A = this chain, B = another copy of it.
Amino acid sequence: MSDNQVTSKGSYRQRSGRLIRKRGKKVGAAPGTLIHIGAVSTDEIRIRRIIYNPTTLDEATLQQAAQCTPPSTPSDLAWFNIDGLHNADVIRKLGDTFRLHPLIMEDILNTDHRPKIEVHENYLYIVLKMLQYRDDSRSIAIEQVSLIVGDNYVLSFQEQQGDVFDGVRERLRSGWRIRQLGTDYLAYALIDAIVDNYFLILEKLGDEIEDLEQELIERPTPATLHTIHHFKREMLLLRKAVWPLREVLSSLSRDEDVVRNSEIRLFLRDVYDHSIHIMDNIDTLRDMLTGLLDLYVSSVSQRMNEIMKVLTIFASIFMPLTFIAGVYGMNFDYMPELAVRWAYPAVLLLMFAVGAGLLMYFKWRKWL
């Protein structure tokens, strides 16, 4: 899905997202310079067009960016979904056709952006992060999605093929209410699909973290520690991707100049509530992971105590006994005890008494 998933094998580092994405060296370049920032994929750029109105729907996969034009029929609405951003020419042509601001074209290509919304005269520009959970590496792949919402068209730009929009496509095909409302409703549907998918991610993370908790209580290993760290890192990246979403949705659901249809603002308000709820859940999971780390560290200390007790008990009992044995192993010519008949059993008894006494002492100190 995203660049940091190209190599899915190897250590945690290779599997999980890079902390800071590469941007290429462009310090001092003019604004609007189109440079793709992200993994360079060899896949073709794929453009899927859906033109629809309340009664008809036409789906097509376009070969040329030049074929992308706003629908000519007044009642028609068009959704262009572009998979792949590595060919700046394609994006430039689209930008020219739909008269996008150069800074926006630059932003679409730069996949290291915070989620944001920009209101332009003829269109909205929305940047979001689409997430995907990789079961094999237990990591989250983050892909940037840019939406351009015009009066009668929606452009959606994704980094790679594969998305969470199949449900929306299905609803478009089955002709439900979605075809009777404008492009802002379509944009809402796309945003809703992205945000709903976050809940799935959080559920999976929640399950993993609960398994981890169970493992930690029953049988902590050094690997457990690395897994806690791995998930903390994932939560960090997740939080960074989701946090600015709230502002975007707040602006969409409240500002009458941004979305004019009050009914759709109501729907967006619902998505906004979801985004708040997602942040709550992320924070809860983060607190949980912090708690697990505390528990791990405390358990390790506790275990160390147990080990030390065993060592101390053994050493404290056998060192005096070995010393006594050593004394009577000395080879002095005049050691009167050695000749005494009951000396040997007496010494054995003494040893037993010392050992038993020390055991009782440890029992009294509650070490046993």
Interface flag for A65 (CB, 8 Å): no
Are A298 and B296 in contact (CB-based, < 8 A)? yes
Are A214 and B11 in contact (CB-based, < 8 A)? yes
Contacts of A315 in B (CB 8 A): 311, 314-315, 319
Annotate A283-324 by CB proximity to B: 1 below 8 A, 0 otherwise.
011011001011111111111110111111011101111110
The answer to whether A338 and B332 touch (CB under 8 A), given A166-B28, A308-B308, is yes
Interface centre among A23, A284, A291 (most CB of B within 10 A): A291
Interface flag for A168 (CB, 8 Å): yes
Annotate A76-94 by CB proximity to B: 1 below 8 A, 0 otherwise.
0000000000000000000
User: DSSP majority for the A interface?
Assistant: helix
Contacts of A101 in B (CB 8 A): 266
Closest residue of B by beta carbon distance from A289: B291
Are B330 and A200 in contact (CB-based, < 8 A)? no
Annotate A218-258 by CB proximity to B: 1 below 8 A, 0 otherwise.
01001001100100110011001001100000000000000
The answer to whether A270 and B31 touch (CB under 8 A), given A295-B225, A298-B225, A331-B335, is yes
**Copy count, this protein chain:** 5
Interface flag for A41 (CB, 8 Å): no
Interface centre among A178, A240, A294 (most CB of B within 10 A): A294
Contacts of A316 in B (CB 8 A): 310-311, 314
- In the complex, identify which listed stretch (A50-58, A135-143, A146-154, A189-197) lies at the interface while the others stay far away: A189-197
Annotate A343-358 by CB proximity to B: 1 below 8 A, 0 otherwise.
1100110010000000
Are B300 and A305 in contact (CB-based, < 8 A)? yes
Closest residue of B by beta carbon distance from A358: B314
Are A328 and B330 in contact (CB-based, < 8 A)? yes
Interface residues on A, range: 35 or more
Contacts of A31 in B (CB 8 A): 192, 267, 270
Annotate A1-27 by CB proximity to B: 1 below 8 A, 0 otherwise.
000000000011100001111110111
Distance between Cα atoms of A287 and B282 in the complex (Å): 15
Contacts of A309 in B (CB 8 A): 307
Contacts of A240 in B (CB 8 A): 280-281, 284
Q: Closest Cβ of chain B: how far from A6's Cβ, in Å?
A: 16
Interface flag for A74 (CB, 8 Å): no
Contacts of A280 in B (CB 8 A): 114, 240, 243-244
The answer to whether A203 and B13 touch (CB under 8 A), given A267-B103, A298-B225, A298-B296, is no
**Across the A-B interface, the 8 shortest Cβ-Cβ residue pairs:** A28-B167, A325-B326, A20-B206, A318-B319, A328-B330, A311-B312, A19-B206, A28-B193
